[in-house]
């Protein structure tokens, strides 16, 4: 059975009004009857969309959104949205690779989902995805197509095991089958993401061989991919980034209903109310609201008592990545002195992959804070993905360097990046470098 509903600009209320609706309240996101009969990645409906830099400056990037069939962590069918992009003026008859870029959503509120936050007219204050749009544009500059999935799903299930991988992989399937992109089953595909997007990228890389073996995934680049979510929760608690653990718990209790009873038994009413706030706040607003807040002040039996709960221990074991080896090679980039993600957690994550047989090039960088490193790493990741698309030999091993931004090649790419940002601020077309 096939359910296809193409939604064009004349019938899409969110396009006609010029003001996007928040998912999942957007009618475009509604699951049709019989969605369980669709194949994973099958497109339910599509629409052209207009992107905006920080929601304000219209972008000349060709873009559509696809609603497609995917599944949750237990395999139950559901729908998700991916935003698919092409360079402005690109000829779909020309072959090109596809990059699945997993944004660092790092919140559960729908205003942070890229399907909303990347659109013109969106209220983007406090969301990370708009900051990453120029990085996506750099991939478009290479002439590549890009899929940007809402990898937390319509429910904002931040931190759930496997789900981000299913949604990213099914988003790739949807993009490959979407005729206006001109892609096909043999199109080479790469994965890319940083921080929470890096974690989603590793889930997709781990699951690809089993869940989507027909995809030609040539590599995955994951920056600061969390490594050990449970350790990050404990370490960030009470610090300037305590909003991340709060968002994590808010997302996990949506994915694992048994967590609610644990939280009710251990947390006081005040912190449970704050978790309700976390469900509505954007990423940076969360960080401001929860800065220096210590959850142990709200725990009846302390952190040890909470972590001893069997239900919570099962959840924390489930959400740790690295238990299976991705078939495709990986590039992992991590700051040695990262103030958000501990390098020891990523060291251990990489070692789990290597022990399982994965091919990993691990780049440890001594200089660079968490957020700046995402941008500083762009030249290295672009070069690495270019090599994967060209089927060049893969480098493996661990390299620790002082800085990622010192070579002439990286400096030129950073200058190109700044030029591109200026062009985007002026609303100029984002075209592929090669002739279309």
Residues 6+ apart with CB under 8 A from 113: 23, 81, 105, 129, 150, 152, 156
Is 403 among the catalytic positions? Answer: no
Cβ contacts of 315 within 8 Å, gap of 6 or more: 252, 256, 258, 259
Q: Which of 172, 254, 251 is nearest to 208 (CA)?
A: 172
170 is catalytic: no
CB 388 within 8 A of CB 144: no
Region of 432 (left: φ > 0; alpha: ψ -120 to 50; beta: rest) is beta
Residue 370 is among the residues annotated as catalytic for this protein: yes
**Residues 6+ away with beta carbon under 8 Å from 290:** 242, 243, 245, 246, 274, 278
SS in 3 state form for 80-139? EEEEEEECCCCCCCCCCCEEEEECCCCCCCHHHCHHHHCECCCCCCCCCHHHHHHHHHHH
Residues of 206-226 as b/e, b for ≥16 C-beta within 10 angstroms? bbbeebbeebebbbbbbbbbb
Q: Which of the residues 46, 195, 224, 282 is marked catalytic? A: 195
Give the sign of the dihedral formed by CA 395, CA 400, CA 404, CA 410: negative
Q: What are 12's two structure tokens? A: 């899409």
- 375: phi > 0 → left, psi -120 to 50 → alpha, else beta; which? alpha
Phi-psi region of 239 (alpha: psi -120 to 50; beta: other; left: phi over 0): beta
Catalytic residue among 151, 338, 345, 349: 338
Rounded to whole angstroms, what are the CA distances from 181 to 62, 85, 93, 98, 145?
A: 10, 8, 9, 10, 8
CA-CA-CA-CA torsion sign (19, 127, 116, 87): positive
Residues sharing a CB contact under 8 Å with residue 287, sequence separation 6 or more, in sequence order: 240, 241, 243, 244
Which residues are part of the catalytic machinery? 195, 338, 370
């Amino acid at each position: 059975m096939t359910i296809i509903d193409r939604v064009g600009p004349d019938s899409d209320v969110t396009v006609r009004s010029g003001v996007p609706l928040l998912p999942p309240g957007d009618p475009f996101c509604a699951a049709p009857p019989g969605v369980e009969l669709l194949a994973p990645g099958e497109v339910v409906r599509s629409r052209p969309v207009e992107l905006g830099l920080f929601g304000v400056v219209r972008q000349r990037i060709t873009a559509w959104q696809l609603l497609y069939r995917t599944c949750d962590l237990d395999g139950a069918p559901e729908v998700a949205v991916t935003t698919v992009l092409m360079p402005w003026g690109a000829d779909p008859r020309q072959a090109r690779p596809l990059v699945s870029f997993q944004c660092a959503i790092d919140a559960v509120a729908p205003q942070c989902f890229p399907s909303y936050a990347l659109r013109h007219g969106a209220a983007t204050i406090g969301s990370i995805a708009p900051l990453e749009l120029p990085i996506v544009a750099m991939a478009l500059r290479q002439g590549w197509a890009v899929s940007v999935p809402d990898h937390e799903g319509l429910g904002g299930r931040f931190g759930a095991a496997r789900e981000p991988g299913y949604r990213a992989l099914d988003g790739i399937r949807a993009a490959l089958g979407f005729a206006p992109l001109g892609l096909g089953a043999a199109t080479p595909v790469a994965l890319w993401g940083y921080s929470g997007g890096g974690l989603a990228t590793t889930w997709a890389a781990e699951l690809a061989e089993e869940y989507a073996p027909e995809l030609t995934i040539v590599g995955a680049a994951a920056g600061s991919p969390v490594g050990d979510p449970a350790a990050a929760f404990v370490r960030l608690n009470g610090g300037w980034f305590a909003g991340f653990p709060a968002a994590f718990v808010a997302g996990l209790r949506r994915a694992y209903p048994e967590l609610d009873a644990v939280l009710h038994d251990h947390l006081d009413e005040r912190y449970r109310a704050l978790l309700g706030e976390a469900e509505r706040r954007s990423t940076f607003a969360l960080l401001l609201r929860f800065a220096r807040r210590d959850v142990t002040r709200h725990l009846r039996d302390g952190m040890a008592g909470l972590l001893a709960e069997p239900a919570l221990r099962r959840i924390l074991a489930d959400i740790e990545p690295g238990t299976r080896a991705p078939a495709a090679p990986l590039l992992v980039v991590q700051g040695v002195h990262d103030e958000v993600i501990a390098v020891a957690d990523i060291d251990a994550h990489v070692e789990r992959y290597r022990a399982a047989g994965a091919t990993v090039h691990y780049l440890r960088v001594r200089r660079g804070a968490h957020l700046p490193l995402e941008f500083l790493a762009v030249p290295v990741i672009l070069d690495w993905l270019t090599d994967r698309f060209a089927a060049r030999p893969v480098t493996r091993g661990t390299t620790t360097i002082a800085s990622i931004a010192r070579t002439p090649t990286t400096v030129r790419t950073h200058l190109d990046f700044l030029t591109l940002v200026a062009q985007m601020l002026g609303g100029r077309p984002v075209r592929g470098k090669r002739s279309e």
